[in-house]
Amino acid sequence: MKNPTILSALFSSIVLMACQSPQDAKSTAAKTDSVQKNDQTKIVTADTVVPPASVILKRKEIPILCYHQIRDWRPTDSKTSRAYIVPVAAFQAQIKMLADSGYHTILPEELYAYLTKGTALPEKSILLTYDDTDLDQYTVALPEMKKYGFKGVFFIMTVSLGRPHYMSKEQVKDLSDQGHAIGSHTWDHHNVKKYQGNDWVIQIDKPTKQLETITGKPMRFFAYPFGLWNKQAIPELKKRGFVAAFQLNEKRDENDPLFTIRRIIVPGSWSPAALSQAIKRDF
């Protein structure tokens, strides 16, 4: 979700089904049905019953942080760029603050179960998310999280795989094998609001298949490039098997809150205290 200026420099289940006969269960898994109840719609999918949007919106939001590059600033980094670059010492201090403050990291599947079923989460739950496949997420963020038993969510831009300063396929698989979550972040960070023609195949279908081949796991979670989304994108993501999508810090959609989950970008200038205040203020 880098700012377009930065990107150009980088190349540009939960099971919840009512008691059913085997035949009914097979039918449910084969298609999506709408069930009307009290004038509100519940969407029945293969792996869960999604409650009305009003129910999801009433649940307390869980803090979700978004990181990009984790490295020390360089003289050539612009002021805009530095908003997306967290110096190593600052990142280490931020993660330590979260641990010392009693935060527990959760993964998207746990968030999804909480939002759709009300499944209990640990007190002071938080999601750590990383966008764009930068190598320092593997070499810097991963060891730091390991110190505290933290897990993260890595949204992969597949055009980057194997290129200098970006993660390899093997490193992405290793993250997945270690229990971190892998999500889709398109092929080359193209703005979802501008998709037309074959863009859905190029930006979503092919990268999704590639990530599933790498990890051996289905891709169920998506992060919008630049945090930008539109209503037209949501049904396209749903029919491709995604169950939730992450934007940035804008108001959630009143009809599809699962596909407009909020995150906040952590700037490189924030002290641990500033991050703590932002979490309490924004969530």
Percent of the chain whose pLDDT exceeds 70: 83
For 258-282, the pLDDT digits (tens) are 999 999 999 999 999 999 999 999 9
Domains located in the chain, CATH noted: 4-12+59-282 (3.20.20.370)
Would you say 243 and 45 are in contact if contact means Cβ atoms under 8 Å apart?
A: yes
Q: Is the pLDDT of residue 16 over 90?
A: no
Q: What are 232-253's pLDDT values in tens digits?
A: 999 999 999 999 999 999 999 9
Provide the mean pLDDT of the chain: 87
Could you give the CA distance from residue 186 to residue 274 in angstroms, rounded to a whole number? 31
CA distance to 11, 89, 100, 222, per residue, from 149 (Å):
33, 19, 12, 24
- Across the chain, which distance is largest between two alpha carbons, in Å? 65
Q: Cβ neighbours of residue 144 under 8 Å, at least 6 residues apart?
A: 91, 92, 95
Distance between CA atoms of residues 52 and 73, nearest Å:
45
Band of residue 47 on the pLDDT scale cut at 50, 70, 90 = low
> C-alpha distances in angstroms, 69 versus 84, 133, 161, 181, 248?
6, 9, 15, 18, 17
With 60 as the cut, is the pLDDT of residue 71 above it? yes
User: Average pLDDT for residues 103-116, to the nearest whole number?
Assistant: 98
pLDDT the model gives residue 49: 87
What is the distance between the alpha carbons of residues 75 and 77, in angstroms, rounded to a whole number?
6
Phi and psi at residue 187, to the nearest 5°: -80, -60
What pTM was computed for the model?
Answer: 0.84
Q: Are 203 and 190 in contact (CB under 8 A)?
A: yes
Indicate the pLDDT class of residue 48, thresholds 50, 70 and 90.
Answer: confident
* In the predicted structure, residue 15 carries a pLDDT above the cut 60: no
- Bigger pLDDT: 229 or 47? 229
